[in-house]
Chain A
Amino acid sequence: QVQLQESGPGLVKPSETLSLTCTVSGDSISSSPYYWGWIRQPPGEGLEWIGYIYYRGNVYYNPSLRSRVTLSVDSSKNQFSLRLNSVTAADTAVYYCARPGRVGPGAEYFQHWGQGALVTVSS
């Protein structure tokens, strides 16, 4: 059973960098054929795909966030991470890590989700 768990600071100051890590169990990132993704949801709003990454470094980003987002993988810890810089209050959201249900780029549905991590941007 694949399980994902987000971790990281719940409060980030404006203009600083948001950093979250997703720890995976039940699958090995370095041998899995799947991409590993991030999705966020502002309070009371809908879902927004941030991007996903393959363990070899292939990355797809949402164009609306591409200039501020970096995804990375740490295979030795079976983790992948999200960094979002120059944050504003508009980046306040629940951030989910997730694994698609289909291999390869263009995987459009997510079968496994973390429980989500609320990150608030405030001074």
Chain B
Amino acid sequence: QSVLTQPPSVSAAPGQKVAISCSGSSSDIGNNPVSWYQQVPGTAPKLLIYDNTERPSGIPDRFSGSKSGTSATLGITGLQTGDEADYYCGTWDSSLSVVVFGGGTKMTVL
């Protein structure tokens, strides 16, 4: 059972936008930055967002991150079929001194 809570699945049509939530607590998201990863089945996770809102070079601005209190959200606009993947949030848990991840959200482009 994951420390961070994500919806199991989300879906939207091509060109539309979607939001994926990640809920935690004061010991993790509430006091530490959040990151987001995209994982196409059979491949390694790819960093999409770090420090709540920052995108590594090469990540399109269709991907955005936000955080409020003990929750974070990944937003994806202009959905493409290539965006179909599993998405994970992650952060540090200060009380346990561990990196924690969400259970993952399967994103389907209808």
Report yes or no: B44 in contact with A114, Cβ–Cβ below 8 A. Answer: yes
Report yes or no: B98 in contact with A113, Cβ–Cβ below 8 A. Answer: no
**Shortest distance between the CB of A12 and any CB in chain B (Å):** 21
Report yes or no: A46 in contact with B96, Cβ–Cβ below 8 A. Answer: no
Chain A residues touching B, majority SS: loop
A11 an interface residue at 8 Å Cβ cutoff?
A: no
Q: List 20 A-B contacts (CB under 8 A).
A: A37-B99, A46-B101, A46-B103, A47-B37, A47-B45, A47-B101, A49-B99, A96-B44, A96-B45, A101-B50, A105-B97, A106-B94, A107-B92, A108-B92, A109-B33, A109-B47, A110-B47, A111-B47, A111-B56, A113-B44
The 3 A-B pairs at the shortest CB distance, nearest first, are namely A109-B35, A108-B92, A49-B99
**B residues neighboring A (CB under 8 Å):** 2, 32-33, 35, 37, 43-47, 50-51, 56, 88, 90-92, 94, 96-104
